[in-house]
Structure 1
């Protein structure tokens, strides 16, 4: 994957009854990486640590080649655009253009033409008080703010929350345009499967504070398969021996439904064993996530 935009080394944080890590994670520069996992798995916690608003109790974090926790943090944030999951509330009384003016003073790379173009492309406005904006309007406004200073790194926490289908498609187009610059990187969290399919190059499974694999998206989506098979009469084949075996269930006498995470190897094995494959079907991302969750929580027992 080459150079890293973000690297976590042995990072651990314990808060109340939740333990994040210890984990190692590398986010490649120049790509879109999607963090997916169940609610409460630490996705927003990860973002807050990258923004250095909460600090891990052990380990270290490097962002854009610099280690967090030193005097350079404010300088580093000049190159980061952050869209948090929840809109801020302390500034509800401000009008949008007032908040934009603050950002323009803070970020040296702020470009008002870019900001106005983003507002126009996303079909939103900044002449209302933030508290009077609809959720979707506020989301589009906040995304415009996050991108107007031309950051090298975008952190997007559930970016499509509150967006209607038209606004969602426009957001996808805006982010694709952003990624035309090979120096740009996006790290995002999302529950929207189609969002991952359209945007992500890599997928990270984060489950209960632990990373359970980083995968190239297309390779991942092509490697998980459900097979509907018929075993030979009086067969002694152990279905659990199928490469990448995850689970199976008996559909009827001699007919099974089997899930494998290694489709190519599984098909070779089935052919060698003279097992009749009646049909097969690729798993969707949410189904793959479910398999990872089952496996992770089984190992955690």
Structure 2
């Protein structure tokens, strides 16, 4: 990715008692939506906290919107950022929604009361209620509205659709598409929702146990990863190991084998050249691709058991 960058993590390492993030380097292009995907506890939220200067790395540096994080007072950078945390803060429970919005309007010079009111209507939010009286979904919609209402250049969304019903989720997707229409805005989001990634993301980052396993362009990822079911005599199935992009081979019954490849077009061409019959093709979802990447990188279940941690 050679585009102008919204975020750059360079040699970042952050150590805690029970978890270590990195060392990792990661570039987030400006003007696109990047989704971070990985199991719980992989370090997705830690990346957001580092970007917001809520915690500092033990080593490495972080550049955001062309400025080194920590160089300027937080107020300067946070004017340009919208952040939706995975969890609501209990400190705000007693505050009414409209009072919280008034507080935000004081701190953000680009606060747009018209946009705020528009989003309240879109999401059917009653902001006169104390935040503690809002349902989980209602509060999520309200906090999303606060993150959007000052026209940030960069949106950091940690599990944005958590608690949303299908109609609210659809509205959120539409709002984010409109937000990106300007062309120079950026979203970095962490999500478990496959359809969310499909509908929104331009790039996908896989992260596991504090390590980046890969960065992929979304459409290329889904088109290149595939399960090919091929017919091959048992005596010659070893030749399947030479298939381009071959990641895994499993016997599927009789003379049929399922071969996982991350180079689907080349793999199909190889099958034609080697006279290997393709019985059928199966697309792969994000969790399937992540599982293979984890296995290849030594983070999968089989690799875990092989190190003597399981049965």
**TM-score, length basis structure 2:** 0.94
Q: Which residue of 1 aligns with 2:147?
A: 146
Give the Cα–Cα distance (whole angstroms) in 1 for the partners of residues 87 and 253 of structure 2.
48
- The equivalences for 1:151-166 within 5 A come to 151-166=152-167
- The answer as to 2:133 corresponding to 1:132 is yes
Q: Which residue of 2 aligns with 1:275?
A: 276
SS of residue paired to 1:141 = helix
Give the C-alpha shift of residue 287 in structure 1.
1.1
Give the Cα–Cα distance (whole angstroms) in 1 for the partners of residues 293 and 117 of structure 2.
42
Give the C-alpha shift of residue 268 in structure 1.
1.2
Say whether the 8 Å CA contact 1:232–1:275 is kept in structure 2: no
Give the Cα–Cα distance (whole angstroms) in 2 for the partners of residues 152 and 252 of structure 1.
53
Say whether the 8 Å CA contact 1:136–1:161 is kept in structure 2: yes
Give the Cα–Cα distance (whole angstroms) in 2 for the partners of residues 69 and 5 of structure 1.
16
Distance 1:68 1:43, change over 3 A: same
- The answer as to 2:254 corresponding to 1:225 is no
SS of residue paired to 1:76 = helix
Q: Which residue of 2 aligns with 1:114?
A: 115
Greater shift in the superposed pair: 250-259 or 225-234 = 225-234
- The equivalences for 1:64-143 within 5 A come to 64-143=65-144
Give the C-alpha shift of residue 233 in structure 1.
7.4
Q: What stretches of structure 1 of length at least 5 have no aligned partner?
A: none
Give the C-alpha shift of residue 45 in structure 1.
0.6
Give the C-alpha shift of residue 235 in structure 1.
3.0
SS of residue paired to 1:90 = helix
Q: CA offsets, 1:199-255, max 9 Å, x none?
A: 000000011101111111000001111111111575365222111111111122322
- The equivalences for 1:171-190 within 5 A come to 171-190=172-191
Q: Which residue of 1 aligns with 2:292?
A: 291
Q: Which residue of 2 aligns with 1:44?
A: 45
Q: CA offsets, 1:86-122, max 9 Å, x none?
A: 0111011000011101100000010100110111112
Give the C-alpha shift of residue 183 in structure 1.
1.3
Give the Cα–Cα distance (whole angstroms) in 1 for the partners of residues 252 and 282 of structure 2.
16
Q: Which residue of 1 aligns with 2:260?
A: 259
Give the C-alpha shift of residue 73 in structure 1.
2.9
Give the Cα–Cα distance (whole angstroms) in 1 for the partners of residues 235 and 208 of structure 2.
41
Q: Which residue of 1 aligns with 2:13?
A: 12
Greater shift in the superposed pair: 77-86 or 10-19 = 10-19
- Aligned alpha-carbon RMSD (Å): 1.4
Give the Cα–Cα distance (whole angstroms) in 2 for the partners of residues 158 and 260 of structure 1.
29
Q: Which runs of 4+ in 1 moved over 6 A?
A: none
Give the Cα–Cα distance (whole angstroms) in 2 for the partners of residues 276 and 85 of structure 1.
47
Q: CA offsets, 1:246-288, max 9 Å, x none?
A: 1111122322111111101111111111101111111112211
Give the Cα–Cα distance (whole angstroms) in 1 for the partners of residues 47 and 235 of structure 2.
52
Give the Cα–Cα distance (whole angstroms) in 2 for the partners of residues 60 and 224 of structure 1.
33
Give the Cα–Cα distance (whole angstroms) in 2 for the partners of residues 177 and 20 of structure 1.
33
Give the Cα–Cα distance (whole angstroms) in 2 for the partners of residues 236 and 293 of structure 1.
25
Give the C-alpha shift of residue 17 in structure 1.
2.1
Give the Cα–Cα distance (whole angstroms) in 2 for the partners of residues 285 and 236 of structure 1.
27
Give the Cα–Cα distance (whole angstroms) in 2 for the partners of residues 66 and 33 of structure 1.
20
Give the Cα–Cα distance (whole angstroms) in 2 for the partners of residues 24 and 118 of structure 1.
36
